[in-house]
Amino acid sequence: MTSPPIPETPPPEDRSRHRLVLAERPPPPPGPPWKTWARRGGRVLAYLALVGATAAVVGSLVVYYAFSEGLPDIPRVAAWAPPILTEVYADDQVLAGEFYDERRKVVPYERIPKRLVQAFIASEDASFFDHPGIDAFGTLRAGIKTVLKKSTGSGSVQGGSTLTQQTAKALLISTEGFAKATKRSGAAGLKRKAREAILALRLEKALTKEEILYLYLNGVYLGHHSYGVQSAAENYFRKDVRDLTLAESALIAGLPQAPSRYSPFLNPKEAKRRRAYVLGQMRDKGMISKAEHDAAMAEEVRVHPVEDVFHEFAPYFVEQVRKDVVQRYGNPSLLRGGLKVFTTMDSEKQRAAQDAMLGGLLQVDKRQGFRGPVMTLESPEQRKAFIDRSEKALGGKPIENSRYYVALVNAVDDTRVDVQVGTHKGVLPLLGMRWARRVNPEVYYPGAMLTSAKRVVKPGDVIVVRAVGPKDLTDDREQYDRRLFDALPQNVQLYRLEQEPELQGALVSIDPQRQYLSAMVGGYDFDANEYNRAFQACRQPGSSFKPVVYSAALEKLDWTEAHVIVDSPIVENDPEHQVRWKPENYSEDFHGDVLLRTALVNSMNIPAVKTFIAVGIEPMAQWAKKLGLSTPMNRDFSAALGSSCVYPFELAQVYATFNRLGTKRPTYVLRKIEDRYGRMLEDHTAFDDPWASLTDRIAGGYARLYAPGEQVMAPETAWILIDLLRGVVREGTGTPAQRLGKPAAGKTGTTNDSFDAWFAGFTRDLVTVAWVGYDLNPHPLARFETGGRAALPIWVSYMQRALDGKPQPEFAPPEWLQDSLERKVIDSKTGKIASSASRTAAVMWFKKGSAPDEKTPPKDSVDPSRFMTLPN
């Protein structure tokens, strides 16, 4: 039977059936089960991947915007201004001090040697030039090791930070503070790392690799206050960064990971081991040859102690500068702003001032007496322990002459003391300790020299000594005894007895024409006591105040050098305090009629009081203030003798006004200040400053034209006062100042209770005031310790060095003033024109028309020209 033929096209009614037949066709047989699950799993994984990717993108965006909020802006390299140190210089360009929060000096990338850059890259971030700012694998590796360290106690905690991330961290520290920007644990630590990474990516996008290195190498902390490679080169090697050797570069590059642990000062062995690691990395990465590596490895680690310029040079002066800068510009500018402060200090004069003050105080303090040993060790065990400590402190070094030591007394007889410094034995002869009487202000020093060493020390005492040769056993001629010198032991180390001064002092030195504070010392030891007596100690000036009194009489009362004052007893009653004041002269006698010149030259008290009374208390107080004394004057007649306290700096300014013929001008401590970009903030440069640039001199001189000062007294009055003070040095209480060997004028000052000793004086070019006294006045200075004996030698010692090689002309009135002055030879007793009857006579200066006309009755003819000793 045959099948019917299939039509080529089914009829329309059969299409649905055909479709139905197709739909009802049985499904294909199922494949293996694992393929089914694979397909389903693939679909799920694809879906999860899509969801995860979406979540990651969204999460990353959320984290990015959440953690990037408040991130610092990427600095423009040209405008980058991190905290840098402020430097203080003397006028002659000597570095005198530094102030900083972070001791940083920024140097251009081009100045940093290639070897140093390579050392940092080799030890900190070998792939620096290849990564985009963060090293994902390095961070993951460091994280794993950190987890292992915390969970098992093995491995090491690592940061995994690239140099770019470390730079980002430094930027965060500068804006957010150290504590917040260095958190290590918990969510805060993760947030910090995320912010570092974000900022690192931004840095890489905005800056070149070299610019990032510039920021990093000038910002990285390298221990011992060193921020940046320039500061580290100076701190450790006292070099400019350009001059570092390969070994030195490797040592510095090894510090960032742990600056204290690898400090060459604290742990030289660890520093050397870390340096070896850095050098090995440089060799392995082909940065240096094996020969260079071996040579650097063989180099010893030699570093210098960190220089403390502030304390070692002129601490009192620089501290005053610090106060002035803070007052003008604020503490942040000083500590972070990178100012360049040029002071008016002359470094040579400053050293001379400090040496003169130290030497003078030691001498005067010794004349007050010996205050006893440092301690006494009773038992043999205590003495042995002291010797052992002393030997350890010596460090095997020999005894050096002129150095101070703490010594143990082993034996004593009348003429010598056997002492021991460590294991070194020596002798303290009586000649080296004759000054060491017990403190007694009533006893005159030369009459109380020690005759037996047994009177002041005993075995077991610990004393301060100075190692010396035979000729240096004493620098005091009053202590010298030829017989004791000839009896000195031979071939043995000699010492002389010393003690830490209880006495204090101050010295202020002003260049009156330039208006510079050239030198200043505020005390014996800044480290022991920062109290600056030059600016802060208000002390009674004694007779050094008398020129203020007499200048008022010359100016306001038209008195002259020849004015007669009666030196006779005076009594002042004080009903308010129920006391009676009866001033006396230092010599405790009276001279009758004396000239004003005689009274001032010889520092007579009663004429000064009578002059003060003639001027009046209130006019006198106003006059002192007008001259520049800010402290209130006592409203009683004792002020004539300097009972009202003054600051040494202000008294020096008053004498500078005298020197400038009555023109009061400010004295500058700061010559000029520049900001970090070299822009001038203030400038007080004198036109003739030899250390200043021509530009500064012109600008400063031009500015001075608009600050001529205040003429507080007539130039004629000032010249007459200078002549009077010149007489004090020529023939009065200031005659020891003649040892200067140059024309000088000045005035001694001693308070009645002998607590303060002064000398205020000047040459044509330099005004200096020296003060000596006790801070708390535990007792007076010893008998006869006057300004001329205690303070004036300090003044002379300083001025001799300060003016060495600088001629000082004799005082003479300037040409423009001569027409308003005249000079006459005056009888020193009568105040009249001298004649043959005059036993003593002197040349005196007068304002034109004020000289006396009456002559002393003549006995014989006299040639007045023989008294004309001053130049025209």
C-alpha 794/C-alpha 358 separation (Å) is: 9
Query: Do 77 and 57 touch, CB atoms closer than 8 A?
Result: no
Which amino acid is located at 247 in the chain? A
Bridge partners for 670 per DSSP? 343
User: Among the options 543, 544, 551, 838, which is catalytic?
Assistant: 543
Tell me phi and psi for residue 427, to 5 degrees: -130, 135
Residue 421's SS3 state is strand
8-state DSSP, 507: E
Annotated active-site residue 196? The verdict is: no
Q: How many CB atoms lie within 10 A of CB 63?
A: 13
Query: Do 674 and 681 touch, CB atoms closer than 8 A?
Result: yes
Q: Is 722 exposed, middle or buried (0-12, 13-18, 19+ CB in 10 A)?
A: buried
Annotated active-site residue 333? The verdict is: no
C-alpha 163/C-alpha 118 separation (Å) is: 12
Residue 140's SS3 state is helix
Q: How many CB atoms lie within 10 A of CB 238?
A: 13
The 3-state secondary structure of 803-833, one letter per residue: CCCCCCCCCCCCHHHHCCEEEEEEECCCCCE
C-alpha 54/C-alpha 66 separation (Å) is: 18
User: Among the options 87, 102, 123, 124, which is catalytic?
Assistant: 124
Query: Do 834 and 826 touch, CB atoms closer than 8 A?
Result: yes
C-alpha 64/C-alpha 62 separation (Å) is: 5
Count the helix, strand and coil residues of the chain and give each as a percent rounded to the nearest 5. Answer: 45, 15, 40
Q: Which helix (H) or strand (E) holds 682?
A: strand 680-683
C-alpha 522/C-alpha 507 separation (Å) is: 7
284 to each of 126, 163, 287, 374, how far by Cα in Å?
11, 20, 8, 60
Nearest to 667 by CA among 507, 809, 519: 519
* DSSP output for 740-777: G-S--EEEEEE-TTSSEEEEEEE-SS-EEEEEEE-SS-
Tokens of 667: 């004295």
- Catalytic residue numbers read 124, 543
